[in-house]
Structure 1
């Protein structure tokens, strides 16, 4: 008899309950068949107008932030910049749903989410500028450093959230991962630990269609990335990542679900990266202009502004006010990046380990000797 031939049903359980525990019904953990949407649906009529206007202002600021950072890169002020243009709804919603006491664990593309948490742009972009490992105090902002290796921040988020709960602290950790990050072992290990520990963590997967040049179809055969949650015993949600109201709603529910002790949540936001992977990438080599044009029709900023205008929730004055605030942000960024910072090469060895390793001390001594030789060539 093969496994497929074995009888099924309550009386044919393969494993005794005392050995492996009771089986869980996977149905409540599965995501909806289609991404959840609010704008353009009857549900939008129940939305708070002030919330929508606030999300709109945040999106306008976010779009201008991406534009200015891209310009700074072209001017040589930044070494590299991975824009989140087209993904701003995910970025601003992730920051907006968290309390000041919660923690955000971003990836390298999530500098807008970091700025939305109150970090100054020049500090949020320090790593991408190439000046230092990091630019802000993580404890002060409850925001972990940018993570360049894919998904390695996810286990950190689980560990912090679990530790906070053991201490009795009311903390939720939200970690942001791209679709490419879901192919990494760290991502799956984090999901497994989160499920077993019932840790108060929310995993936000921004599925923008590509891991650099690799399309999602060559990364995963799962129905959706949100379906990956059920394998680890956690809830999966699927949302339209270009619908700012829907992303805010789903993430709000996910954070509350985790905070209340009901377990972690994996949210897949279906969105699109309108710009190239970074300024060093030529996206025309792996996607068509028609594809990009089609997704521009679903630009999260344009979608929300259209909804606000159609429902008389914003006028030309409101749009102009948001644009003016965005220009002020851009001017602040230009001013902060105008002057070159004074750098200390020896700072490379700070904040790497609480207690420097012998190898790190050896490297620091070598650099110190080289700097001394340059200062005194005799």
Structure 2
């Protein structure tokens, strides 16, 4: 009897399960993936893929420039997202301007892809301010350093939007390490119970700083973590730009249409160290890094577009020139010394300053006057 009950229940729950293998459109060299691996997902339009290519090339050049600025002391820290361009750019291109993005500290490239001023985006990592851009104006939450604490916030925003009758979707990016935090699980549970229009993008890059995935979970995949909460889940090749755009676009539009939350696990890799303070040679070997470099998302997309005569040498040169020009402007602006007003210490603490804060602000003003 128990076996029959389980068999009868399986079809009703099957829609929650991720694919047995990560969704792929492209093989590692940019050619067609074998078989019908992508199933029900449609190939993104050529226009969208061209936008993704340009944004990924620019994003990588920005990432390299930010890494260099850290070595020069212009930034306090910078967590590179090199190798994860398909997820960073795929996330922002799947959203509308009215949707919300909830990024982590590693997702500065996604902010750039969303059109946020690069100096404002780097303000947090420069150590000048908690957030350099206006979250309300950009529909982009401050970059989150504590792991997964922004996930419940994303669910709350999405749920509130639905209560107001808006068609807003929230997309929250989490690293594989973030899935080990309680906030992540609380967010999944809340999103499922209240049917919130939120997409969880887990960028599984193999390591939570130096801890490999095998020491974080014994689950079949990180995508399977959604099933227990009643959240539809999917696995995708995170270095395949076509697959990332196709799966994330479907997830966002499904959530917008009332389909509830979706969890997407992107299998990708962090090519650079965790930050400039990390010695990655202590926990991974050179051959592993080189093997992942050969699955480069930009090279795969470029090969695919060239094979269809949808990208020319001139197009490639123009994208690279735009990236160089962008990096040059960032370099020049970040070379200027940051200036701050000490009175800003008391700004944005409370909507209405407390008597204690007003008193302390007065002490500071008197000290500065002397």
Query: 1:220 and 1:38, CA in 2 relative to 1: closer, same or farther beyond 3 A?
Result: same
CA contact (8 A) 2:76 2:127 kept: yes
How far is the alpha carbon of 1:367 from its aligned partner? Answer: 6.8
Match of residue 26 from structure 1: 13
Query: 1:225 and 1:46, CA in 2 relative to 1: closer, same or farther beyond 3 A?
Result: closer
CA contact (8 A) 1:158 1:173 kept: yes
Query: 1:365 and 1:115, CA in 2 relative to 1: closer, same or farther beyond 3 A?
Result: farther
Match of residue 329 from structure 2: 332
Which structure has the higher relative contact order (CA within 8 Å, separation 6+)? Answer: 2
Match of residue 137 from structure 1: 134
- Deviations for 1:195-234, whole angstroms, at most 9, x for unmatched residues? 0000000000000000000000000111110000111101
Match of residue 207 from structure 1: 204
How far is the alpha carbon of 1:8 from its aligned partner? Answer: 5.2
Instruction: Give yes or no for the alignment of 1:112 onto 2:100.
Output: no
2:305 & 2:264 partners in 1: Cα distance? 26
Mean Cα deviation higher: 47-56 or 201-210: 47-56
1:113 & 1:139 partners in 2: Cα distance? 17
How far is the alpha carbon of 1:308 from its aligned partner? Answer: 2.2
Contiguous gaps of at least 5 residues in structure 1: 1-5, 14-21
How far is the alpha carbon of 1:256 from its aligned partner? Answer: 0.8
Counterpart of 1:287 (choices 284, 308, 312) is 284
SS at match of 1:340: coil
SS at match of 1:202: strand
How far is the alpha carbon of 1:353 from its aligned partner? Answer: 2.8
SS at match of 1:26: helix
SS at match of 2:185: helix
Query: 1:169 and 1:333, CA in 2 relative to 1: closer, same or farther beyond 3 A?
Result: same
Counterpart of 2:351 (choices 346, 351, 354) is 354
TM-score, normalized by length of structure 1? 0.90
Contiguous gaps of at least 5 residues in structure 2: 27-31
1:295 & 1:357 partners in 2: Cα distance? 53
Instruction: Give yes or no for the alignment of 1:299 onto 2:290.
Output: no
CA contact (8 A) 1:133 1:348 kept: no
Match of residue 65 from structure 1: 62
2:43 & 2:231 partners in 1: Cα distance? 29
SS at match of 1:267: strand
2:362 & 2:67 partners in 1: Cα distance? 35
How far is the alpha carbon of 1:336 from its aligned partner? Answer: 1.6
Match of residue 276 from structure 1: 273
Counterpart of 2:190 (choices 168, 193, 200) is 193
Counterpart of 1:123 (choices 114, 120, 134) is 120
- Deviations for 1:227-271, whole angstroms, at most 9, x for unmatched residues? 001111010010000001110000000001100111100000000
Match of residue 232 from structure 1: 229
2:278 & 2:78 partners in 1: Cα distance? 10
2:274 & 2:362 partners in 1: Cα distance? 37
How far is the alpha carbon of 1:92 from its aligned partner? Answer: 0.6
1:153 & 1:70 partners in 2: Cα distance? 25
- Deviations for 1:130-159, whole angstroms, at most 9, x for unmatched residues? 001111111111111111111011000000
TM-score, normalized by length of structure 2? 0.92
How far is the alpha carbon of 1:9 from its aligned partner? Answer: 4.1
Give the aligned length: 359
SS at match of 1:276: coil
CA contact (8 A) 2:77 2:126 kept: yes
Match of residue 29 from structure 2: none
CA contact (8 A) 2:236 2:267 kept: yes
Query: 1:208 and 1:7, CA in 2 relative to 1: closer, same or farther beyond 3 A?
Result: closer
- When the two chains are superposed, the root-mean-square deviation of aligned CA atoms in Å is 2.2
1:202 & 1:68 partners in 2: Cα distance? 30
Query: 1:357 and 1:215, CA in 2 relative to 1: closer, same or farther beyond 3 A?
Result: farther
CA contact (8 A) 1:29 1:235 kept: yes
Match of residue 16 from structure 1: none
